[in-house]
Structure 1
Amino acid sequence: MRRTRFAPSPTGLLHLGHARSALTVQHVGHDVGAEVLLRIEDTDSTRSRPEFERALVDDLRWLGFGWSGTPRRQSDHRGGILAAVDPLAARGLIYPCSCTRRQIAEAGGTPGTDGLVYPGTCRGRRLSDRQSGDALRLDLARALDGLSPPAFEETGPLHPGRHEVDPGALIAGMGDPVLVRKGTGDPAYHLAVVHDDALQQITHVVRGADLWTATPLHVAMQTLLGLPTPIYHHHDLVRDAHGRRLAKIDGSRAIRRYREDGLSPPEVAALAGVARPPTPKQDRTPVWQAGPS
């Protein structure tokens, strides 16, 4: 069975960029004959809010986005996601890190594809020395050493074709990624998304071009964990008049605001740059209610 998913985070109101992504997921799913799922990526316990979760479900239904079955709320499966670190830790690929962003910058962290590239300050620490509140990082160079270069297929309009992960470029641009967050102990995005895509048997990952640079890491982690690599499709982003991509802080472009102004779902879809007619809705039973994060 082919499956795809839309996976928003309930940390703010959905905006036009989310509308483009959700509808693109729906259209690609229809084109390839895939079941469409909804996943609530609420592993960030400091920012996720139940009111935003309820709003996003309501806005998606209004927009005409359909999904099958019961949405997976990641916070309900926190322990299972965190356990995905265990096989990497058993191979000596995980280490604790107490560094703050300021310390990383002062230690020479340079801008990369996912924030500052970690300079390796804590890389020599043993996992058994982990203190309360420490993050967990993947020793990326050690993990990739001797690994056959992973590859993936991209069907999006920006980078179509087969791509082989360049270990050197990945290490230089990403550094040692955080898999478990400092302070909260929450699963980081890079861990949770790889775990859940495999668990839900996602065959086609459709998402925004802002996540293109994270794909080599995700594919490398899939290889390290013995997980299947889906087909990827990265779509272009909705940008403002200055070329900046929309963010949740730009409340004036929230779907909820357009609804309040009286726009229809097709009009909002057009503003998001999705002009195709809506595809048939998926079966959304059983009924699901957004609850606490």
Structure 2
Amino acid sequence: MNPSPSELPKKTNMRVPDLQDIVEIHTALQSCDDSALSALLARAADPTAVQENIYRSFSVSGHYVEMGRRSPVYWHSRLWMIPVLLPPGAGAIEQVPKHCSRWIQRWIGMQPSTLLERVLTVQDVLRLQPGQTRQLLDSLTGFGPSCSMVLRDDPELEGAPRLGFVMGAVKALHREPVIPSNGFAQEARKLQSALEFAAGVNTGSSGSGIVLGELRDFSDALVQGIQMWLQALHEARGIGGWMMDLSGGGNLALSVSFQAGEGGPSAMTIPLRHWQMGHAGVEMLLEYCDRWPMQSAISPEGGRGILLS
């Protein structure tokens, strides 16, 4: 039997891992060691609690830099993303225009900021591992080697918008980097135009362009992006029902069924990594999905569904 929302992990009944687990998580993230994290999760009595602690620290980092005879300096860094809804037919954005980074850095406040050259798909983001994500952060902020990612063609819903993310990082000296809470609209309009050009989107004839979310911390942006995508899918295909299912190891799977689209996929399942969004993000998605009927079973198997993996 599938769990109801009340049976899914909640912040209030979370069991905190012991000190040794926390030390192991910190050590593994510092060395970007996903094998160590996988071993810890495999033997954990409560994998969800371990993933919650990974969630608290995977997207932030700190590095001492020796300055010769002077005192060392300490750089704080954090990962951010911007959700990007691509209209049907838009091409993959292989190269984010370089001036986008300058616009973002100026808005954040002239703290050193960098971004990935490519807009990642939602599947690319969901396939990330914690250590790999930390390696991306260190690479973007200049504290680690480049991080290779295996990008592949993924299934998509024909005639429906696709979700992607601009990913970047920001760092600050002797203090936590601060991402502003407002004022992004002006930069977003410029970013939208630049990304539409890169994707070959012509808004003059169809009127359907790229839609950007807000620039937020990695986890907040992921939840925001999935919410935007679900609403866009509902407008395009009609969401007839949904369910959230436990899938083992503290992970979840969000399944939705569609009303429209003769001959096309009738359902889609999105694997969710608890460490990427935490208890708070899971609860936000549950509350968001409550606008549609909850179903006891949705099968994306066979030729009538899509499984994003």
> TM-score with structure 1 length normalisation?
0.24
Higher strand share: 2
> TM-score with structure 2 length normalisation?
0.24
If asked which structure has higher relative contact order (CA below 8 Å, sep 6+), I would say 1
